[in-house]
């Protein structure tokens, strides 16, 4: 089946996650993505977690459906080879710092001169301008600077890291979205352009309502805690030790019915302050009383009761529960994944298209696996390829790929 981005050619020069995720999202929709790595500078993500091939879950997650070409961009012939590929590509994706791209001669100005239709997607830490445009950034740095860790912390404690790398993931998603918008514009006008997205901007976008609320009111929202979160918008531990969440933005409307559902009609009217959910000063006490009630029955019984009453609720699942969730499986959010080393399962594309669905057709590439193949497709002949290989402008070195020290995390 022809995918929605079939025919779109992408060159990726990215490491770790943000840029690699953006290119992966395009590859899942059938764009032809060639991941370019230097012979002495492979993507450190190949070793994240201290593991390498045959199947590194981090690298497979971010780089499936791609091909790999090893080109030495510091070698004059290697850079010329890369520029020749640029002249016939649609999209260039990178998350290298601007200074590194300038030293390599791979800025937007330089590459767009070779290909005016080129979409140049640049994922950055803090944006293209400003005093920290060249500063390094990882996921935790963007979570911290954006306020995400602050708002995730306990009321009087330290800011807390969100457990998943949401800065990198959201940053990659938004970079891919910007690239696709630019591709549509290029199809209509023939004009390429520079697309910039930062992981700082992505974290601010993810907190849009909270930040805008501060801009409107000047008031900081209190950090979430059972003492300041209304009782029908919180998590509880059931009698079997399993956690669940209930959520309604209309607690006063729901409270009388809720008390009947949990068979505690005496809670409907608080003896001290009337409607218990009408007064934030009562939230902590209400939370403690409800926790005592929920400890008397197993989680599934509470969930069944709430669902029967159409009260929004959910198990607070760990990953073992998540990957077995019938809703996850019914929507193909986990798919079978074939790798040369064996059969695995993998998180699927988050977007479902009815006529041209995303697909995961190939594993993440081995280092330099498709170098010759890519060059042949772009007009190089075998004599040129042999010359480039002999000059060490392309292909892995004879001693094989070695992990950068920083990659062993």
**Residues labelled catalytic:** 168
Q: Residue 97: which region, alpha, beta or left (left: phi > 0; alpha: psi -120 to 50)?
A: beta
Question: Is the alpha carbon torsion for 147, 151, 152, 158 positive or negative?
Answer: positive
Q: Quick check: bond before 54 cis, omega within 30? A: yes
CA distance 387 to 391: 6
Cα R_g (the chain), whole angstroms: 26
Starting at the edge strand that comes first in sequence, how are the strands of the sheet with 243-247 ordered? 233-237, 243-247, 313-315
H helix runs in 87-207, sequence order: 98-104, 108-114, 139-145, 148-152, 166-189, 199-206
The Cα–Cα gap between 57 and 47 comes to 10
- Separation in Å, CA 182 to CA 11, 28, 162, 185, 186: 16, 18, 31, 5, 6
DSSP conformation class of 339: E
Say how far apart CA 104 and CA 236 lie, in whole Å.
Answer: 54
Phi then psi dihedrals of residue 303, to 5 deg: -65, -40
């Amino acid at each position: 089946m022809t995918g929605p981005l079939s025919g779109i050619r992408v060159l990726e020069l990215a490491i770790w996650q943000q840029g690699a995720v953006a290119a992966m999202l395009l590859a899942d929709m059938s764009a032809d993505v060639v991941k370019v790595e230097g012979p002495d500078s492979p993507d450190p993500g190949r070793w994240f977690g201290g593991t390498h091939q045959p199947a590194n879950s981090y690298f497979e997650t971010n780089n499936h459906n791609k091909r790999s070409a090893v080109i030495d961009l510091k070698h004059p012939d290697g850079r010329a080879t890369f520029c020749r590929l640029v002249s016939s590509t649609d999209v260039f994706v990178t998350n290298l710092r601007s200074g590194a791209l300038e030293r390599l001669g791979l800025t937007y100005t330089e590459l767009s001169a070779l290909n005016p239709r080129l979409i140049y997607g640049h994922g950055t830490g803090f944006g293209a301008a400003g005093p920290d445009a060249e500063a390094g950034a990882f996921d935790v740095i963007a979570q911290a600077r954006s306020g995400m860790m602050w708002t995730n912390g306990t009321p009087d404690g330290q800011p807390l890291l969100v457990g998943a790398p949401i800065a990198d993931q959201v940053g990659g998603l938004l970079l891919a979205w910007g690239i696709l918008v630019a591709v549509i514009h290029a199809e209509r006008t023939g004009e390429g352009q520079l697309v910039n997205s930062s992981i700082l901007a992505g974290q601010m976008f993810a907190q849009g309502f909270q930040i805008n609320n501060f801009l409107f009111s000047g008031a900081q929202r209190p950090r979430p805690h059972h003492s300041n979160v209304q009782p029908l918008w919180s998590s509880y531990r059931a009698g079997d030790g399993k956690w669940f969440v209930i959520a309604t933005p209309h607690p006063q409307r729901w409270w009388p019915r809720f008390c009947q559902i949990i068979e505690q009609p005496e809670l409907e009217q608080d003896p001290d302050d009337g409607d218990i959910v009408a007064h934030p000063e009562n939230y902590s006490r209400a939370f403690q009383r409800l926790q005592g009630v929920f400890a008397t029955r197993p989680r599934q019984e509470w969930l069944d009761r709430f669902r029967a009453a159409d009260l929004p609720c959910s198990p607070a699942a760990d990953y073992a529960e998540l990957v077995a969730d019938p809703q996850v499986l019914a929507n193909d959010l986990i798919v079978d994944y074939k790798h040369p080393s064996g059969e695995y399962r993998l998180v699927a594309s988050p977007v479902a298209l009815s006529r041209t669905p995303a697909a995961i057709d190939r594993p993440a590439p081995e280092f330099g696996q498709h170098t010759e193949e890519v060059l042949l497709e772009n007009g190089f002949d075998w004599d040129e390829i042999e010359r480039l290989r002999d000059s060490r402008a392309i292909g892995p070195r004879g001693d094989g790929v070695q992990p950068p020290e920083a990659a062993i995390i």
